[in-house]
């Protein structure tokens, strides 16, 4: 039986320079990332060893590098970059990535704009 458990990373906040408008690339803005890592965590549950799980501190560093070192026009592209790098570096079977852009340049009152993707092996 294949069981997939999940590790959640919520509300990772970074300041960076992504967007279509020139002002977004000059001034920058906050981006928030939510990520789910799907993986069987049974072994880690029995062993209590970090080697038997996905080290979420290391995942955080990969996400941080994607958000702060790259520059993308679309949050969809940023989400894809995060998903591909995490899948390439960690043993998770699949991931869910949501990139939030709370200060998106929309002429109106909004709480948040986000793009969510699901990727697997």
Helix (H, G, I), strand (E, B) or coil at 68: helix
64 part of the active site: no
Cα angle 97, 5, 37 (rounded to 5 degrees) comes to 25
Q: Nearest CA to 99 among 86, 117, 111, 119? A: 117
Cα–Cα separations (whole angstroms), residue 89 to 26, 78, 83: 31, 17, 10
What tokens appear for 21 in the block? 């408008």
The catalytic position among 54, 75, 101, 111 is 101
Query: Could you give the residue numbers annotated as active site?
Result: 101
């Amino acid at each position: 039986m294949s069981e997939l458990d999940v590790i959640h990373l919520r509300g990772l906040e970074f300041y960076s320079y992504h967007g279509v408008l020139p002002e977004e690339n000059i001034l920058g803005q906050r981006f928030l990332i939510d990520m789910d890592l799907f993986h069987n965590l049974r072994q880690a549950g029995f062993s209590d060893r970090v080697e038997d799980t996905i080290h979420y501190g290391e995942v955080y560093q990969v996400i941080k590098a994607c958000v702060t070192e790259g520059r993308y026009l679309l949050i969809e592209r940023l989400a894809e970059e995060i998903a591909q790098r995490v899948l390439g570096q960690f043993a998770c079977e699949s991931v869910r990535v949501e990139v939030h852009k709370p200060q998106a340049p929309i002429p109106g009152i909004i709480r948040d704009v986000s793009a969510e993707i699901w990727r697997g092996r």
